[in-house]
A and B are shown apart, each in its own frame.
Chain A
């Protein structure tokens, strides 16, 4: 029977609840910190088309509503009741996973011999082998270094566990017992989903269940379309940068062209840099991958929270990421730290949507999230053990009608922080400061949220701090519609001491007893001309210390002396101000693009596609380093110097690009 609209609503409740019960079952019996504390897992139910029609609203990772199970079935043969498919290799499961620690499980749900739905779950497990404990390092250059690769295989055949595969898997993990616990928890979650689907069939019939899969997707599509139609027709181009790829000093650019036609949206990432020789690649496998469209999904769900979470939301959206770029790399590019790149994908889509209509999306958020890890010697074994001491976040971007959120951002993950007391109870550190970072929010009519200051004092010998994936040291989060960009990321060793040292990236930093390390994360970008921010709002921020008196005067034109506003001086300053508009990308980007402008970089990237993907990155890097040799080694590059020679350097770049264009294909 085709369900009527009331039954459809009931089926929606029941199937979403089924997905949520899967998640609850997983959390209850899983053992990994990633599931218990960080909530890096998800559960969902896919329809017979292999796409999710039921997704939890507040449990686990929110980003994966639009994943596609079909590539996982390609080489698996006929499915039977009781089968479960396991995989973790992005290049073999169509980007279902995007790095190896994420184990993926799929179970077909049968009714009278026919598949009526699929249960799906993934969890970030503690370890999958590879070159370092916990399997992730930005320095890895290919996926072989990142651990055990599992293409889609049946780990359970008609209810019987394949003990051989399980043993191979467990032999490749550093924490087999914990991982086994998580595998069992995920299998239990899939069983729970199966029971609930059987309940739904018992109450409403299999035909209604299958029909509801399409109907719920259409329902979501209809709601999504109503939101997407607010985007004016046109073509909008935007690009943004990662500071570097971690193994060189060369910045990384992602570019997107958004084409809008009556609510149909195309995201074309042509002009994006080639795949990287480090672990920042995002394997999206040429599909409309959720990471490519994440900002659009958030835009839809923000503007219509009643929209059902299923693949229908993305119905009118297409995405193209060229093969061999860092957002659709070829096998075997490394991808462990892909979340750093995904943050930038959000910014790029956001910027393009801004050009279409500034009221739709916020300015750039702080753009970097990462776990800060401390490695300290174990008192018993003497070996170093590592622990996450804090999940560091930034501020959110401001948007039309609202300031950004101070010290919080939920774009990618929305996990809780670690209390200072827990950190100090377990690690040999003292957290001297954990605070909002004054003056770090981008000034604007609506102020960007502030970043965070986190100061660690080391209390033991022979420790190291790992903060891999910290970003936005160089290219600051942008402001929009006249709003200003925010303060960059800063990391300082022994701040305020004679041996104080600025760091521009943190890999594995060896620290001594008594050292302090201060992490200052960026705020979000501002929105609208800061000189139009009402005086009382500026003075409120100053009173609370989010903005200093100096910044109030410089950035907002509000003169505050000893807590009270000097009205005359303010009026004078504000009267002399020239209205600001458009994007503010910060000084560094402006200078960078005096040499590496959009036209040349886009041409270069297009030309590089003639070469095998595996060598494009090296070619690109050598061209950048030819133009600016100071990029070759850390600490020598000076952007102002480069800009001073911009004309010459740009000409050199143009020559190199032209020469490359003239070269024979696959030279």
Chain B
């Protein structure tokens, strides 16, 4: 990836309703945004149209584009809708039910009507083979040619479109799994065969097998999508390389994405977090909470030390994804969350969403259930004529009527019943979001006061000060274009991939046993360098992050130990142990340096850094209010000063109540908060009593 050449980069985020496009010129910081409605039947068509529109708006030629970075939810949706091909799995004898048993948990301990998930592959398409090794690699059963013939016959008879192979203990000893896969390839010709260890060689047969299965499941769809996308791009005259955004907040080449589409399934929320890290004011990047609030879902994430946080506990629907994924917490409140009253007369928010079709009452598409967006509108926070830059007219009167009905059911006998009901609903929704935020920080033992909230998505900026006030966060950042923030994040992503080796090595207190850890790191370095050479020849700076999962030999809980980059080269057993003991001491207040320590998994992430400079520096200047709007806030009407985001210049400051309208969202600045435009274009909001 080039960092010196000037040129344009395009970021694309494909969503359910809209595709967002960003073109950013390297060096000048110029940015152009574009939205194009999705075409569910042919998603790449919308991308083709959108790029056309974007190039026209930016006034540039296809040849001016040096890089295209693309995020898509296609793979995610395919898994959620279960519309993939007929897939089979081969397992060691005795493990036919690995997908049926899964991790043996029920979705709820309080609900005996809850069911388990429908497995990705039904039991009758899971085939046992007489192939088994132990955890030390000793082969107990090696399939002979006749056994492989029998297996191939069974698979042929089942009329499969793809097959995944997962043998017990292949995470450490993949040879037997490879032998079976090769045997099948030889016998079955074109049928795609995926080995579990080649996708992610980590201990835990269910999760590893599932990943291989999911990869095989989405591969045909994604391959054909990427093929069409590429040919449409080339048809537009774009010769720039195309990269696809990934779960870990990075990107990979089309070639890698075709081989490993599973790496792209959770890229959507990750891109917004990446954009937050890269676009938030530098002095705030160490402690961010991101809020991506859209029509139907709201995602929050924690950023510490300028790095997104990664998790291996993510899920796609009901399926666990043990790949490193940017950690995002989905909460059950968005613009589309239903507002209703239960039999006891208590006002409830969600968990149902009215979705985008019919959507909230004010969308005028026949929706009859009040949603949070109706509350914004009724309170005056949104203007029916300027929503989404006036692209979508909202119907205010029906929304107000809907809230009036709720007010009656709540026995609200007040002067402004609809507005009071809207205020009550926003209060409950805000409390619900705030406790989720608080729990998210508690899980990590963090203090909310250090954190700034970066709000984006269609409704993030609208709700941000309400949430920050309730959650007692003392800073809010609204980026320049919150509605297309994920597309921007895509254009800013590094080329990145994760690698892992499950070792199960015992380190003595003296550090003996380390050589296998060192070998694993060397091995992963080699593999990662070979991979990155196939992705880019730009000579971009590389970064390596090494981590180890470690625990006391006689304990069940693991700590994730990060090896600082400066130590990586000279790392030895003693140094690694000391990192572990120090972390244990930090968390638990003591260290047992005489005990043996087990290194279960070593991980490495390689990144070719994207050093694009896209931070536009705004000129300083002031702006005129375009008028005022009455907003019902905390039981009274307040006059909010109105501004257009496009008019705001660096250094501009305003006190709430104020509203900043822009084409992709509305920023609501509540009384008691001040907003300032900082030179890079972010709107930074701070409570009055915290301003310097």
**Residues on A facing B (Cβ under 8 Å):** 5-6, 8-10, 13-14, 16-17, 20-21, 24-25, 28-29, 31, 33, 36-37, 57-58, 62, 177-178, 181, 184, 192, 196, 219, 222-223, 226, 297-299, 301-302, 305-306, 309, 361-362, 385, 391, 393, 396, 399, 402, 405-411, 414-417, 419-422, 424-425, 430-436, 452, 455, 459, 543-546
Contacts and interface: CB of A to CB of B under 8 A. Distances in A.
Interface in B77-113: 93-98, 100-101, 103-106, 108-113
B691 interface: no
Contacts of A433: 93-95
Contact of A405 (B106, B140, B557, B588): B106
Contact of B438 (A21, A57, A361, A545): A21
A13 B205 contact: no
A543 B126 CA distance: 12
B342 interface: yes
A58 B203 CA distance: 26
B206 interface: yes
Interface of B: 93-98, 100-101, 103-106, 108-116, 122-124, 132, 134-135, 140, 168-169, 171, 203-206, 342-348, 410, 424, 427-428, 431-432, 435-436, 438-439, 442-445, 504, 554-557, 587-590, 592
Contacts of A226: 343
A384 to B, nearest CB: 14
B321 to A, nearest CB: 16
Contact of B203 (A14, A20, A178, A421): A421
A563 to B, nearest CB: 10
B431 A305 contact: no
Nearest to A380: B596
Given A6-B428, A414-B106, A222 B169 contact: no
**Which 3 residue pairs of A and B lie closest in terms of their CB atoms, listed nearest first?**
A17-B435, A433-B94, A410-B106
27 contacts: A24-B442, A31-B557, A33-B557, A36-B557, A62-B109, A62-B110, A178-B555, A196-B438, A219-B346, A222-B343, A223-B343, A223-B344, A301-B111, A305-B111, A399-B113, A406-B116, A410-B109, A410-B114, A414-B106, A419-B204, A425-B135, A425-B203, A430-B140, A434-B101, A435-B94, A544-B122, A546-B123
Given A57-B110, A402-B115, A432-B93, 16 more contacts: A10-B427, A17-B439, A21-B439, A36-B556, A222-B344, A302-B112, A408-B116, A414-B105, A415-B104, A416-B105, A417-B104, A422-B203, A430-B134, A435-B96, A544-B124, A545-B96
A396 B112 contact: yes
Contacts, number: 192
A416 B106 CA distance: 9
A407 B443 contact: no
Contacts of B587: 29
B154 to A, nearest CB: 14
Nearest to B588: A181
A385 B106 CA distance: 31
B116 A405 contact: yes
A391 B592 CA distance: 30
B206 A419 contact: yes
Contacts of B432: 13
A407 B103 CA distance: 10
Contacts of A181: 588
A547 to B, nearest CB: 12
B431 A402 contact: no
A222 B442 CA distance: 32
A8 B346 contact: yes
A421 B348 CA distance: 45
A362 B445 CA distance: 41
A415 B105 contact: yes
Contacts of B444: 28
Contact of B94 (A9, A431, A459): A431
A407 B112 contact: no
Contacts of B347: 5-6, 9
Contacts of A391: 104
A361 B346 contact: no
A6 B205 contact: no
Most buried by A among B96, B109, B587: B109
Contacts of A5: 345-347, 410
B443 A24 contact: yes
Contacts of A29: 445, 587-588
A261 to B, nearest CB: 22
A361 B115 CA distance: 15
Most buried by B among A10, A178, A298, A362: A10
Contacts of B132: 430
B109 A9 contact: no
B438 A302 contact: no
A363 to B, nearest CB: 11
B95 A420 contact: yes
A421 B600 CA distance: 12
Nearest to A455: B94
Contacts of B205: 419-421
Nearest to A12: B346
Contacts of A424: 134-135, 168-169
B348 A306 contact: yes
Contacts of B204: 419, 421-422
A431 B94 CA distance: 8
Given A415-B105, A421-B203, A421-B204, A20 B97 contact: no
A364 to B, nearest CB: 12
A20 B104 contact: no
Contact of A407 (B101, B108, B122, B428): B101
Nearest to A10: B431
Contacts of A393: 104
A459 to B, nearest CB: 8
A442 to B, nearest CB: 16
Given A6-B427, A306-B348, A37 B504 contact: no
A211 to B, nearest CB: 15
A301 B105 contact: no
Contacts of B427: 6, 10
A589 to B, nearest CB: 23
Contacts of A436: 97, 100-101, 123
A456 to B, nearest CB: 11
Nearest to A416: B103
B331 to A, nearest CB: 12
Most buried by B among A58, A399, A433, A546: A433
Contacts of B438: 17, 21, 196
A399 B93 CA distance: 33
A205 to B, nearest CB: 16
B504 A425 contact: yes
Contacts of A420: 95, 168, 205
Contacts of A544: 122-124
A595 B513 CA distance: 65
Given A10-B427, A391-B104, A408-B104, A37 B95 contact: no
Contacts of B105: 408, 410, 414-416
Nearest to A422: B203
A20 B665 CA distance: 33
Nearest to A195: B442
Contacts of A17: 435-436, 438-439
Given A298-B112, A410-B108, A414-B105, A543 B556 contact: no
A12 B436 CA distance: 13
A396 B589 CA distance: 43
Given A28-B445, A414-B109, A9 B116 contact: no
Contacts of B100: 406-407, 436
Contacts of A419: 203-206
Contacts of B555: 31, 33, 178
Contacts of B588: 29, 31, 181
Contacts of A543: 124
A301 to B, nearest CB: 4
A558 B88 CA distance: 28
A424 B137 CA distance: 11
A234 B608 CA distance: 73
